[in-house]
A and B are shown apart, each in its own frame.
Chain A
Amino acid sequence: MKNLKKSYEKLYKIKPLMRFKTIISTLEGIVFGTSEITAGAPHFVDNMDIKRYMSIAIIALIPSAAAAVYFFKLHAVELILVSYISGGIAEVLFALIRKKDIEEGFLVTGLIFPLILPPSTPLWVASVGIIFGVIFGKELFGGTGRNIFNPALVGRLFVTISFPQIMTSSWQLPFVDTVTAATPLGLFKTAHVLTPYIKLLLGTSAGSMGETFRIGVIIGGLFLMFTRVSNWRIPFSYIGTVLLLSWIGNFFLPAKIAPPLFQLLSGGLLFGAMFMATDPVTSPYTLPGKLIFGFLAGIVTILIRAFSGYAEGVMFSIIMMNGFTPLIDSFVINLKYRPLRNER
């Protein structure tokens, strides 16, 4: 391995390749590990790094991704590939411009994005969406860690608004190629039909590619929390709020607001709460802030689901709360740290 590394390092001596230095050094980091050492105390550090952090997130998404491939066969594979390739190109271009290593965070964005698309999305739409998401959701803010909105959601929102025809009316059921049906939430809204819970759990109902196999989503989400990659507070307060509000709402307005369990198991609530609302960069870092974030997102979700023209409100509510995140954080921080003057 050492010899291999030595010969790899010779690449840095080849002049014309230096234009692609970031790619070479990113690859080196992945394959050979880092040769950096600590500068001073602490003289040894945690083995966790961003690569592993993101890998764990990807592992947690595997059940959902595998279910998508199982349900929608080749088209699911194609969508994931298209998302990775076109988003990856945008990512690499920006890394080259910025002369920094390619950011691992994209690997998660690139997988989440196809999973929140309707299964019949044309490939070109997916490609446009992820490129838009990467550029306008992340890179223009300065890259991972500085973005305000979840890039996958930015891309999804963009295609929803730009191509409403394609994005909201063509829901394909698993296994059957031609039939399009409304999502369970849509069915409730238009025809007041409650899809059976078991169908919702197993994923044999219409919905975005990755969100329908809810057992997998729950397992993945719990795995993330257990490994400390995500924090339980946001999913807890988000889902809790939705359950509570729909329980109350269903009591008074049964025609508009579906019962709690149905709210929980339909649409993108579980997927959004487990994988998107918990994105550390775009959600509050203060612990009370996380609870507030989930609580507000829960209210918005119920409001949209019940009273707007849209059947689903998870996506909007999360992206909206992303925008409020800095506000929530500074609110909590200012409450927590009173000005010192008061202490005298």
Chain B
Amino acid sequence: MIIKKRKFTGGYTFKNFKGEPSDELVKPEIPERVIIPLKQGFGDEVNAAVKKGDSVTAGQIIGINDESISSPVHSTVNGTVEDIKKAEYFGRLINTVVIKSDVTPDFKPHEAGTSSWKNLPEEKLEEVLYMAGVTSLGRSGIPTRYKSSAILPGEVEHIIIDGVQSDIYNLSLTLLLAGKGLNQFIEGIDILKAIMPRASVHIAVNKYQKSIIKKIDESADNRKINIYPLDPKYPQGYDEVIIPTILGREFPFGFNAFNMGIIVLDIQAVLHVYEAVVLKKPLIERLIALAGPGFTENFHIKVRIGTQIDYIVKNRVKPDTSLRYILNSPLWGNTVTDLSLPVDRTVNCISCLVEDRDGEAFSFARPGISKDSYSKTFAANYFPFKKTINTNTHGEERACIFCNYCQDVCPSGLVPHLLYHYVERDMVDDILLRYRIFNCIDCNLCGYVCPSKINPAMYIKQGREKLTGMGINPKESVLRRFKLKGVKENKQVNSEYYNGDKS
């Protein structure tokens, strides 16, 4: 059933940038070495279940902890464990398992998986998902009775599947749902429904992908699935934005979607659910987009989780150019300073931008046929040319002139420049709580639009860190207004899903 839905206020649509990934899919060789972090996706770090020198097969569980809220981690190649060591992975010190591979492509299938899953008892189905590792996907995880999330499957009221493509670079829906993909996707939803019988299913799709919306609607038959064509306006895909848009419910900032009995997954996660159950395939591979003009060609690539970034980008980037690699989106991702780091389960995209220190002569006076801007002062606002993207700031830093751009685009209804002024003058106290500093969802839009080249988002983050350092707990203030689930469990779990930036 297609439901036309409201929009959210604020936000900004990034469209038509250079470096968008094409629908082409490349499958590289199996890497010679993978590095597997023992914390991936939702949940706590797990204990290593292998020792140095052990030989492992792809799909074998190498890390598991049944006590904490977590999901198992698998070896993604056949080979031997070279080392288990603590390493810094995007701002977090975690144990990683280094595996030398014998480059054979086969993997150990999950015995319990079956295509006639409808006959399986719920418990067995949950076990398959848990053992396959897919329960760690999404910012709230997929609940099972194996402590993969802070709530139980029976408590889930809504499953939201996000295909809005609101980021600047997105995985191609056409590619994900090509061929059998569409039916697998729908069957994945059926599996989710089977373990979460109370939940209603909502799919949000980029409204410009008309044919895909139609196809999903047709294959959904008479299942009760709500399809929402939404504007691909950033940050529509964030849990804090998509839930109010679709369900009209206020988000308890500082908490997780599961506290409301909602889980949000992306389309790839649903496909992983299908693969785990029907194809018996543990979570060892992922589709990743290579985006940004730093690459010679932009396409999708299917890699084993744990593949090092330099193995992926090697020979695919522009030579003799100073480049910046970013894990995930250029809007919120982390800079990759060490190319030997691996990709984990949460990575959707590797972006590569050109570091442009040259500047442009009289850039402020040019018509700007390929320049993106929130203000409508460039020719690119009116013509459909591809827009350039690089790391230059396009202007010097100046004092804030209260132009209101940051306030207009903020999806959380904050006044970023107000918070910025407080933090900049080091006036960090309760008043910032009142101005809802903890409602900031780190979308970084305010930093994007500022003509004075200030990054309020950065200051807001600093302010929050200072406040938490002072022992202020923002969560206390929202508790009584919402009926929340799994709050006690939530305290124990580190609910960070994406690496670093998102918390």
Contact = CB atoms under 8 A, between A and B. Distances in A.
Interaction A to B: yes
Interface residues of B, number: 73
Contacts of A31: 361-362
Contacts of A29: 396
Contact of A285 (B407, B436, B458): B407
B208 interface: no
Interface string B249-276: 0000000000000000000000000000
B363 A46 contact: no
Contact of A46 (B334, B397, B449): B449
B368 to A, nearest CB: 6
Name the prevailing secondary structure of the B interface residues.
loop
Contacts of B6: none
Nearest to B395: A49
Nearest to A38: B391
B451 A145 contact: no
Interface string A321-344: 000000000000100011111011
A15 B394 CA distance: 29
Contact of B401 (A51, A55, A281): A281
Interface in A135-150: 143-146
Interface in B443-475: 444-445, 447-453, 455, 457-458
B140 to A, nearest CB: 22
Interface stretch (B118-126, B185-193, B325-333, B485-493): B325-333
B359 A285 contact: no
Contact of B434 (A41, A101, A337): A337
A344 B476 CA distance: 8
Given A43-B333, A285-B402, A227 B377 contact: yes
Interface in B307-343: 324, 326, 330-335
Most buried by B among A44, A49, A105, A231: A44
Contacts of B285: none
A30 to B, nearest CB: 7
B27 interface: no
A164 interface: no
Contact of B333 (A41, A144, A227, A281): A41
B455 A47 contact: no
A144 to B, nearest CB: 6
A57 B394 CA distance: 19
B58 to A, nearest CB: 33
Interface residues of A, number: 55
A56 B403 CA distance: 13
A177 interface: no
A322 to B, nearest CB: 13
B358 A35 contact: yes
A145 B424 CA distance: 14
B377 A42 contact: no
Given A45-B447, A49-B453, A231-B404, A34 B477 contact: no
Contacts of B401: 50, 53, 105, 144-145, 280-281
A293 to B, nearest CB: 13
Contacts of B375: 46, 48, 52-53, 56, 227-229
A53 B451 contact: yes
Given A41-B333, A41-B334, A343-B481, A46 B374 contact: yes
Interface stretch (B29-37, B225-233, B349-357): B349-357
Contacts of A53: 375, 401, 403, 451
B361 A47 contact: no
A30 B375 CA distance: 20
A191 interface: no
Given A29-B396, A103-B398, A47 B372 contact: yes
A2 interface: yes
A8 to B, nearest CB: 11
Interface in A17-39: 29-39
Contacts of B478: 343
A37 B403 contact: no
B448 A37 contact: no
Given A41-B501, A53-B403, A46 B372 contact: yes
A226 B330 contact: no
Contacts of B361: 1, 31-33
Contacts of B331: 41-43
B8 interface: no
A286 B376 CA distance: 21
A59 to B, nearest CB: 9
B115 interface: no
B446 to A, nearest CB: 9
B66 interface: no
Interface string A270-292: 00000000001100011000000
A47 B395 CA distance: 8
Interface in B343-395: 351, 353, 355-365, 368, 371-378, 389-395
A309 interface: no
A105 B449 CA distance: 19
Nearest to B359: A33
A44 B352 CA distance: 11
B377 A56 contact: yes
B197 to A, nearest CB: 34
Most buried by A among B324, B358, B359, B455: B359
A40 interface: yes
A47 B398 contact: no
A333 B396 contact: no
Nearest to A49: B395
Nearest to B325: A43
A341 B480 CA distance: 11
Contacts of A231: 404
Interface in B413-460: 415, 417-418, 433-436, 444-445, 447-453, 455, 457-458
Given A43-B330, A44-B353, A226-B376, A51 B364 contact: yes
Given A35-B359, A145-B401, A281-B402, A45 B448 contact: yes
Nearest to A105: B401
A340 B434 contact: yes
13 contacts: A1-B361, A34-B393, A34-B395, A35-B392, A44-B391, A45-B393, A48-B378, A145-B398, A226-B376, A337-B434, A337-B436, A340-B434, A340-B477
Interface of B: 324, 326, 330-335, 351, 353, 355-365, 368, 371-378, 389-405, 407, 415, 417-418, 433-436, 444-445, 447-453, 455, 457-458, 477-481, 501
Interface of A: 1-2, 5, 29-53, 55-56, 101, 103-105, 143-146, 226-229, 231, 280-281, 285-286, 333, 337-341, 343-344
Given A44-B353, A48-B395, A49-B394, 9 more contacts: A33-B394, A36-B396, A42-B445, A42-B447, A42-B455, A43-B333, A46-B449, A47-B372, A228-B376
Closest 6 CB pairs of A and B: A49-B395, A33-B359, A145-B399, A51-B364, A47-B371, A43-B330
